[in-house]
Every structure is written in structure tokens, then in C-alpha cells.
């Protein structure tokens, strides 16, 4: 993937992260509005990382999403963004546009979903997958 596209996805993910943190921050300060003063700026990634409690306070679903977005940003930094973690082939740009946090190409994703379905039918408890 060329630099320009990487930057595009980076911008997309950073915006997403910003929105998520803002929402999570709002939810948190609602929960503890009596103590607003010491709450870190939720849009500041550095202060978020220094306050692990922040991530413990927010809802599980949001926390997972935030982590996914951060992982995607890490992949942009280390050059593995857009590469399927299962088969190693490139993920289509169309798929990345719709779902920039994805780590699987559509073929592997479909395969994984089929496997999960089979496991569920067998009554095996599969890991809860993130909704697409
Ligand atoms: Zn794949």
C-alpha cells in the first residue's frame, strides 16, 4: 500500500479513535461527575495510556473497539496494515474502507465465520467474535 493511502487510513482511524474516546470520556464523566477535575482529557492518547483505569471504567464493548482501532494504528506504523493476518495476502481497499480495523481478508473472514457457525452448532462455546 502506498504512503498516501496509509495516511488516508491513518486519518480515518485517528478520527474514529478520537470519537470513541470522546464518547467513552463522556460516559465516564457522567458516571463520576462529582470528581470531574482529575479526569484525563479523553482525546489525549498519551494521558489515556498513562491512566489504565480509564480503560477499566469504560464499557467492555467500547474498550474492545478502542483497542482494535489502536491496533490498526500500530499496524500502520509497523507496516503490516492491510495485510491479512491469516493468509498474508493484501486485504482489499474496499473492505478496509468499510472496516479499517479488520485484520482478515474477506475470504478468511468468511471462512472463520463458517467455522464459528459450525462450532456453535456443535455446542462448543466459541470465543465471542466482534460484530462486523
Ligand atoms: Zn486472508
- Please give the pLDDT value at position 63: 86
Q: Contact, 100 vs 111, CB < 8 A? A: no
DSSP state for residue 122 in the 8-state scheme:
T
The CA 35 to ligand 1 mean position distance, Å, reads 47
* Cα 19 to middle of ligand 1, angstroms: 29
pTM over 0.85: no
* Alpha-carbon torsion, ordered 96, 98, 100, 105, to 10 deg: -40
User: How far apart, in whole angstroms, are the C-alpha atoms of residue 60 and residue 54?
Assistant: 12
User: With a cut of 70, which residues of the chain have pLDDT below it?
Assistant: 28, 30-57, 124-132
Three-state secondary-structure class, residue 59: coil
- The rounded Å distance from CA 91 to ligand 1 centre is 7
pLDDT number for residue 26: 78
CA of 63 to the centre of ligand 1 (A): 25
110 Cα to the center of ligand 1, angstroms? 9
Cα(44) to centroid(ligand 1), Å: 34
| Per-residue pLDDT, 41 | 57
DSSP-derived letter for residue 1 is -
Amino acid at each position: 500500500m502506498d504512503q498516501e493511502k496509509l495516511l488516508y487510513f491513518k486519518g480515518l482511524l485517528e478520527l474514529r479513535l478520537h470519537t470513541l474516546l470522546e464518547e467513552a470520556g463522556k460516559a465516564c464523566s457522567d458516571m463520576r461527575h462529582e470528581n470531574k477535575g482529575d479526569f484525563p482529557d479523553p482525546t489525549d492518547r498519551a494521558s489515556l495510556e498513562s491512566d489504565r483505569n480509564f480503560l477499566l471504567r469504560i464499557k467492555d464493548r467500547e474498550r474492545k473497539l478502542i483497542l482494535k482501532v489502536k491496533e490498526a494504528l500500530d499496524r500502520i506504523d509497523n507496516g503490516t496494515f492491510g495485510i491479512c493476518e491469516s493468509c498474508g495476502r493484501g486485504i482489499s481497499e474496499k473492505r478496509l474502507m468499510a472496516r479499517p480495523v479488520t485484520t482478515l481478508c474477506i475470504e478468511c473472514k468468511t471462512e472463520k465465520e463458517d467455522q464459528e457457525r459450525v462450532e456453535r452448532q456443535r455446542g462448543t462455546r466459541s470465543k465471542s467474535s466482534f460484530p462486523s
